[in-house]
């Protein structure tokens, strides 16, 4: 197995690669590298190596259906390829990975175009954590000539909100940075909330960075639309069978490294926002609204 697989998986586990989209891209590129470097001699050996890489990446982060779906698609394509030659299989994996990466980039542009239409000139937008898709959407809104302002949270304990703030300031967007617990104090001055997603369940419940569900409740209280931007591949097919989306529990050291002995510190990375608080889910194929099960299935069928 190529060294890039365990190295990349460890970077994902340690949050050196952040964001569902970036995690999926890193994993797919690592599998591409393995395909180019494989030393296997038979199709069975090659598929076993590919499945081993899949297992390693799935174990690196529990709440990453985009990565899981991407790798599952590439593995399935390899398993069903009508060739026994490793060299041909390897070329197919590289080509399929390139196709996935292109489709993923295209989806971000489609989401940005659709989502920017939901932002009006002069709007104050509230966002949480970091999502490259949200940033692209806000960039599109600004490019369309809309004068917007953004309020973003620091997003403890890993402070991903600082990434968002840096990007937005660099784009020339007026940005206000707040502590997470100040969200309610600012919600009354907000026109729309837009967040990303790490996973979408079969009922349209949204798994995103911890704190997202609280912000959704605050938005509902203030009658502020709460939009989620997400690629359809973040839909988790496992939830169709009644399974709950796993919520990753991260190291307590991220919260308080020098905590008193015997103190219990919990650090869930994500929470689940019930669909009743979600105004709409903006995807690359259009906008999904309640009832989300039917709406998402219709978009998948397009």
Residue of 191, 198, 236, 244 marked catalytic? 198
Grouping H, G, I as helix, E, B as strand and the rest as coil, residue 174 is strand
Catalytic status, residue 106: no
Which candidate, 72, 194, 63, places its Cα nearest to that of 124?
A: 194
Four-CA torsion 166, 104, 140, 63, nearest 10 degrees: -50
How many residues does this entry show for the chain? 302
Query: Which residue in 195, 191, 245, 240 sits closest to 215, CA to CA?
Result: 195
CA-based Rg of the chain, rounded to a whole angstrom? Answer: 20
CB 107 within 8 A of CB 231: yes
Helix axes 86-116, 132-143, angle to 10 degrees: 50
Structure tokens belonging to residue 196 = 């990303």
Catalytic residue among 103, 129, 152, 180: 129
Q: Is 244 a catalytic residue?
A: no
The two structure tokens encoding residue 57? 């990446």
Residue 14 buriedness (CB in 10 A; 0-12 / 13-18 / 19+): exposed
In angstroms, the CA 139 to CA 64 distance is 25
Which residue's entry shows tokens 């999926």?
Answer: 24
135: CB partners within 8 A, 6+ apart: 164, 167, 168, 171
Catalytic residue set = 129, 198
């Amino acid at each position: 197995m190529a060294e890039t697989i365990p190295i990349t998986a460890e970077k994902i586990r340690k949050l050196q690669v952040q964001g569902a989209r970036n995690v999926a891209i890193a994993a797919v590129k690592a599998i591409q590298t393995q395909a180019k470097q494989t030393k296997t001699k038979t199709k069975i050996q090659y598929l076993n190596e590919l499945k081993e890489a899949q297992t390693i990446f799935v174990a690196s982060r529990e709440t990453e259906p985009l990565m899981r779906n991407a790798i599952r698609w590439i593995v399935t394509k390899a398993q069903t390829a009508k060739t026994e030659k490793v060299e041909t299989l390897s070329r197919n994996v590289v080509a399929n990975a390139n196709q996935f990466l292109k489709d993923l980039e295209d989806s971000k542009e489609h989401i940005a175009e659709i989502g920017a239409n939901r932002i009006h000139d002069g709007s104050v937008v509230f966002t949480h954590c970091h999502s490259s898709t949200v940033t692209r959407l806000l960039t599109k809104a600004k490019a369309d000539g809309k004068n917007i302002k953004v309020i973003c949270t620091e997003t403890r304990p890993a402070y991903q909100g600082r990434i968002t703030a840096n990007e937005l300031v660099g784009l020339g967007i007026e940005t206000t940075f707040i502590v997470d617990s100040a969200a309610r104090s600012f919600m009354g001055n907000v026109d729309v909330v837009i967040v990303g997603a790490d996973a979408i369940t079969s009922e349209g419940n949204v798994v995103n960075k911890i704190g997202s569900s609280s912000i959704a409740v605050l938005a509902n209280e203030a009658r502020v639309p709460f939009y989620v931007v997400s690629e359809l591949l973040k839909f988790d097919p496992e939830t169709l069978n009644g399974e709950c989306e796993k919520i990753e529990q991260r190291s307590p050291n991220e919260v308080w490294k020098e905590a008193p002995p015997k103190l219990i510190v919990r650090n869930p990375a994500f929470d689940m926002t019930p669909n009743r608080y979600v105004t709409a889910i903006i995807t690359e194929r259009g906008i999904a609204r309640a009832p989300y099960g039917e709406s998402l299935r219709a978009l998948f069928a397009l």
